[in-house]
Structure formats: structure tokens, C-alpha cells
Amino acid sequence: MTIIMSGCMYQSEAEQENTVSYRESVKRIQSAVDDFYKEQSILPIITADEQVPRYEKYRIDLNKLNKMGYIDEIPKTAFENGGDGYFLIINEEEDPSVKVMDLNTQQKVNEVQMSVNRYKTANNGELPKGTELYPDFSTVDLAKTDAKNVKLKSVFSGQEVTFMMDNNGIVYIDYAFDIMQAIQKEESEPTKDEDLRIYLEHASYFVPVKSVPYSWQDNQPVAKL
């Protein structure tokens, strides 16, 4: 892993422009959310079920912000205006922060999930397991499924991601590579009990959608249920 992590990453011009666009959008929406909260004493979010994962849960009601004059227009980066991202709020109780959930990532995971489900049904409950990544997690052997051509690049590093699943066949993205990069960038030593996904929150405007918690073990991130 150390050798892999030492590789250099370069973004294409299109990726750089996309990053800039999201940076500007997040700043504008963060300012609007702060003003809205100060004046209305509530957050401009769409109500979500308690079972919705943290990095998908508190979607910002951009239409409300627009209609009430807190933003002059909905950003083109937003799904509501034809973009590829949902704008969310995390740390809603202590420090409401605007982040972006990449819908392309969510869609690709859902595609792989449906393919795994079909394989499981057709093979008496057997899962298309590849190699073991962590205790309770293995790679999805896409070659065994009808999703063999599905590919996805990480919004954090631009590297092709690994689809992994737990023993029940629930599909996730393995964010260990991205987390390790973020930790190295911060030049800090993670504590034993913290969820390492927080380093991705610090490093990017995106959230690690379709993820599980990671802990620090033997100087590397390890996924856990």
C-alpha cells in the first residue's frame, strides 16, 4: 500500500474546471445556508428518513433558497439545474457545512448493486466475491456479473475505484486509497477510535458516498462494519 500511495496524481483540465466550479458553488451555498440559519433559526434541508446514510441524508433545499432570495440562481453543478451533484449539509448540529454528493458515484454503485443482486438470485444466494480486502469485505468480481464493464473514477484522487461488498452482498466504494492520501497530506497521526472518513471531509468539497467507516490499523485505513 505504501508503494501505491506514493504515486503522483494529475487532474485533467476538465477535472480541474469541475473542481473550481464546485468550489465556487459550495462557497455561495454555504454563505446562503449561514444567512438562512441566522435569520430563520432552522436549516434549509429536505426532510429525510432516519435510515438514510449520513453522506446522503441532509439535502439542501436549493429551490427554497432561490425563491426566498438567498441565492440568485441554482448552480449549474446542482442536480436541480442539470448538474451531477446533490448539495448536502453535514455536521448539522455543531457546524453545518455544505458538501457535494456525486451522483455519478451513487449511480455506478447502484448499477453494481443490482448486478450483484441478480447474480445472487441466479446462484442460490452465492455472491460474486473476488479477493478479501478486509475482515467482512471482499472485492466484487465484476467479471462474474453483467456489470463487468462498469468503471468509476474517484472524485477525490481521480484513480479508478474498487467496488467492494460485505458478506450480505451490500456494495460500497473502497476509499482506503483516498483516505491514505488525505492523511498524508494533513501529516497527522490518526487516533485509534476515529472514523477516518473525516479526513476526506477536510480534504474535499465531496463526501464519500456509498462508504463504510474506516479505522486506523497497522498504519493503514481498514474498512469496518
pLDDT grade for 104, boundaries at 50, 70 and 90: very high
Q: Is residue 193 within 8 Å of residue 174, measured between CB atoms?
A: no
Strands (E), the chain: 85-90, 97-102, 129-134, 137-140, 162-166, 171-174, 214-217, 220-223
The pLDDT score that the predictor gives to residue 187 is: 87
The pLDDT score that the predictor gives to residue 11 is: 45
Report the SS3 class of residue 31.
helix
pLDDT, mean over the chain: 91
Condensed to tens digits (0 to 9), the pLDDT of residues 37-93 reads 999 999 999 988 989 999 999 999 999 999 999 999 999 999 999 999 999 999 999
